Amino acid sequence: MKLPIYAHPTVTVLVDDHSSFLQNLPVPPHARKIFHRSDEALAWMMESPRHARAPLRVNHDLPACSVTVDVEGIFRICSQRERFSVPSVLVVDFYMPRLNGLDFCRALQYLPCKKILLAGPAEERLAMEAMNDGLIDRYVRKQDDDAPQQLERQIAQMQQAWFLDQERVAHDLLAMHEYSFLQCRRVAEVVRQLYLRHGFVEHYVFPQPNGILLIDTAGDAQLMVVETEAGMQAQFEIARDSGAPLSLLQALEQRHVLPFFNHMGHDGMYDKAVGGNWQRYCQEPQVCHGEETYYWALFGVPPSYLREQPYTHAQYVREAA
């Protein structure tokens, strides 16, 4: 799966009049909303928070109208508390009093959340037809021995797909230019591994230098700087034209270092103020061979690069307890 331009924890809504099945699901309390009555669930969903869209800018001054993405506006979403309360996935049992699962999904067809139906043997054909018609996104056979494990996997996949679907326009616009790595499944896998290794819970595309801002539950952030071959060559040429030391030029030319020159909160490129202290701003790059070659490394983020501090997931969990 491709890498969303941003992702963060959301809420999974579970609607089932039999609590035993729901309670066995490995979804933490702060990330789920459980209902045993379809009317209560319907009312809550209709009033639920909506996600913050990636800001787009339309320019009518050019001969042809153009649309651009406000990348700085994307990572500012991390300061918004309500992002953690947005429902991204709905799981509903087919057999519900008053309103069955398919009718429930039909009543919420206008909402963008992904919909998973819990179906019995007699409803499997109806579930397949509903999925083909776009009424639901997935179904799980409730009688299967591994139904909880299936559902856990489906929820994770649907949460990822939800972010991709909500920001498809912005994603495609960015991927056509400096953020081509968003289309690379190998880069997406690298980011997934970083989530697991470092405990990150959310990420946002980042401007200047191009990359991904990764944030853990306590709000500690690291920047995954990502460069293509063309980007590495640009780093070399700018350093050369700025009178950089020969040692830095050789390291850049041989792709032995990936720099993030953040000493003045500039755009990550070399300037004369760095002088001979360039090593403190560089790391040995990891190489990801996807549709093209990407060089990446994790860097600490200077406070000057974050105009707004994240509202942390840990704060949200404490307040939701």
- For 87-143, the pLDDT digits (tens) are 999 999 998 888 899 999 999 998 889 999 999 888 889 999 999 999 999 999 988
pLDDT confidence of residue 165:
92
Instruction: Answer yes or no: are the C-beta atoms of 179 and 210 closer than 8 Å.
Output: yes
Give the global pTM: 0.90
- Residue among 93, 206, 201 at smallest CA distance from 143: 93
Range in 22-31, 150-159, 241-250, 270-279 the model is least confident about: 22-31
pLDDT confidence of residue 64:
62
Chain position carrying tokens 């099945």? 21
**For residue 43, which amino acid is it?**
A
Quote the strand ranges of the chain, DSSP E: 6-7, 11-15, 32-35, 56-59, 66-69, 87-93, 114-119, 138-141, 200-206, 211-216, 221-228, 258-259, 282-283, 286-289, 293-300
The fourth-level CATH superfamily of domain 6-170 is: Response regulator (3.40.50.2300)
Q: 116-125, 149-158, 193-202 — which one is most confidently predicted on average?
A: 193-202
Q: Where are the domains of the chain?
A: 6-170, 179-317
- Residue among 107, 157, 164 at smallest CA distance from 137: 157
